[in-house]
Amino acid sequence: MKTILTVVLFVSLLLGPSLRAETLPSVSAPAGFDEGTETRLTPAQVQEILPWATNSKQTLEDLLELIKTLSDRQAKAKLIAGFQSIVVASAPRRTETLLRVVLDRGLKIVGEIDQAADLGIPGTLAQEVRLLKLTAKLAISYFQNEGDLVSLPYARFGADYARFLMNLDDALFAARAQYRVAVTALGLLQWDLFRDQNKLTFAPEINKIYQFLQNMPNEEARISDQDAVMQLRQVRKIFQLVNASLDHEAGTAPVMKQCQNMDLRKAPENTICRTYKTGAQWQLVTRTEKGHEVWKDINTGLLWSDTLDSHSNFDTAQDRCHAHDSFDARGQLADVNFVVPSADDFITAEQDGIREVVPNMKYQFFWSSSVNPNYAGTAFGFDGDYGNVVGFDRSSLDGSVRCVSGR
């Protein structure tokens, strides 16, 4: 059967869309993600949904501001309640917008993590809050990008959302939670490709995911952490294959080069490239005459300065991003408030492929603003060679500083 399917897919690629239609399986949304299938909104639907979408955008922006002073537990509760109110407000209409889809999915993904992860493990709750915050920002961006809301580009959205989830997945602590989120990401990608207006274009990718998911263990089976790690590798492998394939399909990925295939030190300002690791997009904001660069992680909106020219201990490092002698390394951006990144900032940036993009990373240890809560003599920093956040003696003078702005 596998051989026959391979031959059919190969022939379909040669003969075009007419035969691809015959090879498409019957695809439905992953369990619990019962989203609609409409791909276009009528003018009447647009008029009905636009006030809701505009109010929703403002609500999300207010939520992100409100939770800045809250604990992780309080922030999670506020964000979930806010998402639920927005989703419920649109429920009578059942009108799909990508803003609504992103929020609804975020709620369900957090539910998946709650079931699979041990919330008592330090950091797990913080990662859920981070997922919800990034979900809110992603939803806002899709309100801005949907324009008149008439056309819903599910294939492009699906590819971007799958990369978004796979990116977040790397930061989860429990292997079973990572596995469940990764499988969900793959299933949602298949669903989004299938409900795109041009789904026949994506028949090879839909079939590849479909065949893979058919052979996965039963979702209800509680697998061990060891088995979860093994299965997770397979999920990520198939995702990378599909992701690479989608890069060649019109309309599913930004038309831009991979960062690793460019000479970024000679790239003009405003250049945007995508990282090999997850497809995250980075933009060169400015380059000074001395060659110092400031890059923007488009996924988070954070600006990252170049490496400051001197080394310091942890306490001295905390003031370096406001010092006059770091002005050029900060791109000479006078109106931008730079600070020392937190450990979480570095973790997120590493997931987005920062070491593929910014200069002067190798052979450096960068201080964060985060102290070790278990031992006051150490603080966390970022290893520019390996991409890990590690503890270090805070009195050491060997630490470099790289500044961040926008959180």
User: What's the pLDDT at 170?
Assistant: 59
User: What's the pLDDT at 174?
Assistant: 66
pLDDT tens-place string over residues 55-92: 778 888 888 999 989 998 899 999 999 888 887 766 54
Asked whether the beta carbons of 90 and 49 are under 8 A apart, the reply is yes
User: What's the pLDDT at 12?
Assistant: 38
pTM exceeds 0.75, yes or no? no
User: What's the pLDDT at 30?
Assistant: 84
User: What's the pLDDT at 255?
Assistant: 42
User: What's the pLDDT at 146?
Assistant: 42
User: What's the pLDDT at 262?
Assistant: 85
Domains and CATH numbers, the chain: 23-246 (no CATH), 259-405 (3.10.100.10)
Please state the three-class secondary structure of the chain as a single string: CHHHHHHHHHHHHHHCHHHHHHHCCCCCCCCCCCCCCCCECCHHHHHHHHHHHHHHHHHHHHHHHHHHHCCHHHHHHHHHHHHHHHHHHHCCCCCCCHHHHHHHHHHHHHHHHHHHCCCCCCCHHHHHHHHHHHHHHHHHHHHHHCCCCCECCHHHHHHHHHHHHHHHHCCCCCHHHHHHHHHHHHHHHHHHHHCCCCHHHHHHHHHHHHHHHHCCCCCCCCCCHHHHHHHHHHHHHHHHHHHHHHCCCCCCCCCCCEHHHCCHHHCCCCCEEECCCCCCEEEEEEECCCCCEEEEECCCCEEEEEECCCCECHHHHCCHHHCHHHCCCCCCCCCCCCECCCHHHHHHHHHCCHHHCCCCCCCCEEEEEEECCCCCCEEEEEECCCCCEEEEECCCCCEECEEEECC
pLDDT tens-place string over residues 110-149: 888 887 766 666 667 888 888 898 888 888 877 644 443 4
Q: Render each residue's pLDDT in the chain as its tens digit; 407 residues.
A: 333 333 333 333 333 443 334 478 888 888 877 665 444 555 565 555 556 666 778 888 888 999 989 998 899 999 999 888 887 766 544 455 777 888 888 888 888 888 776 666 666 788 888 889 888 888 887 764 444 344 567 888 888 888 888 876 555 656 777 888 888 899 999 998 888 877 887 888 899 999 998 887 765 556 776 777 888 888 888 888 887 777 655 444 444 577 887 889 988 888 888 887 677 889 999 999 999 999 999 888 899 999 998 789 999 999 999 999 999 999 999 889 999 999 999 999 998 899 999 999 999 999 999 998 888 899 999 999 989 998 989 998 889 999 999 86
